[in-house]
């Protein structure tokens, strides 16, 4: 039976998207990832081959990002980038939705952009980042609908490069997303940096969390679980934040 720590780790996509990272720094990141049973690592396309090699003896998937983080590239470029990432060994793709098209309410373009990438990668999972910190409610709703109509598997809250949503704003954006794409899974990213927040977004219906703080979140949960072993009457563990 899967325990609480394993269940949380399987919801986390441990992320390193620093475009100044060296190979040695990425290898250190992969070594850290191996300490936990994470679902996946998320890396830049440049490091997909390295990730596959470093993690070949694990069950972790390799996820990479497309048209990241601006979300202003054309469809042809996204398709080519996605195909190259899959050829390099990427298991899943997190693509940016076209942000200018969303802001212009050109949702047909947004849908066709998503559809083209999904068709290009076939059975590989596609998550679409709609960049909620830049959007109002109507734009979030429209973009979420296009993720579903375009054939994506997930809709994702943000890249993490345009600011962190405050808790209530994040919860409201998740509500809007789910209302408008009821058949898709949701991924939360951008400032999910502690166990309490991770637990809250999972309770709100998120199934995957993208975070560079995956090791911190797991260590905090393990701290709670260790305290519960000492005092079985303590239901929630010490306050972490």
**Residue 101 belongs to domain with CATH number:** 3.20.20.70
Domain-located, residue 26: yes
Domain-located, residue 235: no
Mean per-residue pLDDT, 225-236: 66
Catalytic, out of 94, 113, 127, 153: 94
pLDDT at 120: 98
Catalytic, out of 61, 111, 187, 208: 187
Identify the bridge partners of residue 129 per DSSP, sorted by sequence position. Answer: 96, 156
Domain-located, residue 115: yes
Whether 150 contacts 110, CB under 8 Å:
yes
Q: How confident is the model at residue 238 (pLDDT cuts 50, 70, 90)?
A: very low
pLDDT at position 240 over 70: no
Domain-located, residue 203: yes
pLDDT at 95: 98
pLDDT at 227: 81
Using alpha carbons, select from 172, 191, 176 the residue that is nearest to residue 143: 176
Domain-located, residue 240: no
* CB contact set of 159 (below 8 Å; sequence gap of 6+): 65, 68, 69, 71, 96, 129, 131, 189, 190
Mean per-residue pLDDT, 2-27: 95
Structure tokens belonging to residue 62: 């390799």
Residue percentage of the chain with pLDDT more than 90: 90
156 counts as catalytic: yes
pLDDT at 234: 54
Mean per-residue pLDDT, 8-20: 98
Average pLDDT, the chain: 94
In degrees, rounded to 5, the angle at the alpha carbon of residue 169 between the alpha carbons of residues 165 and 170 is: 65
- How far is Cα 68 from Cα 73, in angstroms, rounded to an integer? 9
Catalytic, out of 78, 111, 118, 156: 156
pTM over 0.85: yes
Mean per-residue pLDDT, 196-216: 97
Mean per-residue pLDDT, 74-95: 98
* CB contact set of 140 (below 8 Å; sequence gap of 6+): 130, 132, 173, 176, 177, 180
Domain-located, residue 236: no
Domain of 102? 4-230
Tell me the per-residue pLDDT of 102-157, one tens digit each, with 9 for 90 and over: 999 999 999 999 999 999 999 999 999 999 999 999 999 999 999 999 999 999 99
**In total, how many domains does the chain have?**
1
């Amino acid at each position: 039976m899967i325990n609480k720590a394993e269940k949380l780790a399987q919801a986390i996509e441990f992320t390193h998207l620093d475009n100044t990272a060296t190979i040695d720094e990425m290898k250190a990141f992969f070594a850290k990832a191996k300490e936990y049973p994470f679902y996946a690592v998320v890396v830049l396309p440049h490091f997909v081959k390295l990730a596959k090699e470093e993690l070949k003896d694990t069950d972790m998937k390799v996820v990479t990002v497309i048209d990241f983080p601006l979300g202003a590239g054309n469809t042809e470029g996204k398709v080519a980038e996605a195909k190259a990432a899959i050829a390099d060994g990427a298991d899943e793709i997190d693509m940016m939705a076209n942000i200018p098209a969303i802001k212009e309410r050109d949702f047909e373009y947004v849908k066709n952009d998503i559809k083209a990438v999904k068709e290009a990668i076939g059975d590989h999972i596609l998550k679409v980042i709609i960049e909620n910190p830049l959007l109002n409610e109507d734009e979030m709703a429209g973009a979420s609908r296009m993720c579903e109509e375009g054939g994506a598997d997930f809709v994702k809250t943000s890249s993490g490069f345009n600011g962190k949503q405050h808790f209530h704003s994040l919860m409201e954006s998740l509500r809007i997303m789910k209302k408008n794409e009821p058949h898709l899974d949701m991924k939360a990213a951008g400032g999910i940096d502690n166990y309490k927040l991770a637990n809250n977004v999972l309770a709100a219906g998120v199934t995957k969390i993208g975070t560079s703080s995956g090791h911190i979140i797991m260590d905090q949960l393990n701290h709670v679980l260790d305290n519960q072993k000492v005092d079985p009457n303590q239901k929630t563990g010490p306050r972490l934040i």
